[in-house]
Structure 1
Amino acid sequence: MTELLTLSGVHTHIGRYHILQGVDAVVPQGQTTMLLGRNGAGKTTTLRTIMGLWPASSGTITLAGRRIDAMATPDIARLGVGYVPETMAVFSDLTVKENLVLAARGGPPDGERLQWIFGFFPALRKFWLSRAGALSGGQKQMLSIARAIVEPRQLLLIDEPTKGLAPAIVGALIDCFAELKRSGATILLVEQNFHAAREIGDRVLVMDNGRIVHRGDMAELTDDVALQERLLGLSLESHQ
């Protein structure tokens, strides 16, 4: 198991609040690692710290053996890290096409890659020349994810992609992530929909109070209701 991303003793302060309190985590290359935990555990802060949006107060973050904890966000992105925030960040005044053209750092989006994306998210083809701000919430989430995967990335950081979405759209997202996983992509994914987590997760990290309190195979957590209730306060079956 090759380690692509490693966090060692990472602390993050936001103002006077000490959010991450010594995070130690490994994200294996070519696998989907789920980052689970109760609300307020520090999951979003972890992703934002990796991406350089909130600087780590101490500790180290390495990507493919290279330290990135002191790097600026644009430089981290240039290393091939894609980020999908839970806020569904898109450029509202630009069209769907323009959003994807901007996200493709290597030049115009590859036509074959676009057709692959449209297979999961046909609404993006339909609204290709429409303003992103006019899309529904689910369509904006599709566009946000499409922006991150419009070209191959070394690492994808994805924060609660299924939050508030209709079941049909959730199903399309699960299919998309499963295909990304089959293609060898490395994903660190925060998710509250445990059906989705169970379907696409290879590994799992569970956070509590700014620390990783459990690490292991997703299948192990899926099969152990007592462990689920101890770590998450509920069983996966009761939280679909």
Structure 2
Amino acid sequence: MAETPAGTSASTFPEPLLRLEGVHTHIGPYHILHGVYLEVPAGELTMLLGRNGAGKTTTLRTIMGLWQASSGSIRFDGREIAALPTPDIARAGIAYVPESMGIFSDLTVRENIVLAARSGPVDPARLDWMLGLFPALKRFWNLPAGHLSGGQKQMLAIARAIAEPRRLLLVDEPTKGLAPVMVRSMIEAFRALKAAGETILLVEQNFHAASQLGDNVIVMDDGLVVHSGAMRDLVADKALQQRLLGLSLDAHQ
């Protein structure tokens, strides 16, 4: 059974920035999400974990409106967004970095960033901050993005998502297929984003990276949330890791 968030007094805990309640999603004839309940607190990094096919990517795409929820509620900053089109959800302050990254390979790094800033030129101070997070982008600023390595393309995809201030960043498997040195660079970049107060919902298959970054963790299985809590508690409980994920974090040290 999925864990439904317990009712608590608003005076005790702040309202989460994002809340899903009973969300079902169908893709054609397939019923993928079976009543998802989850919360993402503001200013924290929440990991979304689970075995392949658990429904993690579908959850992100449903939040973003790329796939329409069949039923249930998706509330962002107190506003119901389940029926909104994707452009309106983006304008509300949610950015999405898909596993495919979605960069323009024929355009330069600079042009990719410029296109991502829809409201005008990127603020110079923000641009300096972004290039501080991802120094490789500065080195390849005027090269076509298609010339970048896989890790550098991932960095560009994240930089595009934060070219303008966002309230929530959805990121799907940013370390997938990356060399260990690039994984370490990605971990450091997300630590810096956390330190800057960004709110992030992050799907990740590298459980070592997840343990290094997560404030909170949500685990899905077969289209349902089967566990939610503090990341440190999952890190400390190897039996729970085995039961929920089929392996322990130690296997990814």
Same structural fold, with TM-score higher than 0.5 when normalized by the shorter chain: yes
Distance 2:251 2:186 in 1: 21
Structure 2 unmatched runs, 5+? 1-12
Counterparts of residues 80-99 of structure 1 (less than 5 Å): 80-99=93-112
Instruction: Kindly indicate whether residue 114 of structure 2 is the aligned counterpart of residue 108 of structure 1.
Output: no
- Percent of residue pairs bearing the same amino acid type: 68
Letter in 1 for 2:104: F
Tell whether the 8 Å contact from 1:120 to 1:173 is kept in structure 2 after alignment: no
**What residue number does 1:118 align with?**
131
Counterparts of residues 131-142 of structure 1 (less than 5 Å): 131-142=144-155
**What residue number does 1:238 align with?**
251
What SS does the aligned partner of 2:208 have?
A: helix
- The alignment covers a number of residue pairs equal to 240
The more displaced of 92-101 and 130-139 is 130-139
Structure 1 unmatched runs, 5+? none
Distance 2:146 2:29 in 1: 35
The more displaced of 191-200 and 49-58 is 191-200
Normalising by structure 2, what TM-score?
0.92
Give the deviation of 1:151 after TM superposition: 2.4
Give the deviation of 1:169 after TM superposition: 1.6
Give the deviation of 1:44 after TM superposition: 0.3
Q: CA RMSD in A?
A: 1.1
**What residue number does 1:216 align with?**
229
Runs of 4+ in 1 over 4 A off after TM superposition: none
Distance 1:19 1:222 in 2: 28
The more displaced of 153-162 and 107-116 is 107-116
What SS does the aligned partner of 1:9 have?
A: strand
Distance 2:236 2:118 in 1: 41
Distance 1:106 1:166 in 2: 35
Letter in 2 for 1:120: L
Counterparts of residues 1-240 of structure 1 (less than 5 Å): 1-2=13-14, 3-240=16-253
Tell whether the 8 Å contact from 1:120 to 1:172 is kept in structure 2 after alignment: no
What SS does the aligned partner of 1:57 have?
A: strand
Normalising by structure 1, what TM-score?
0.97
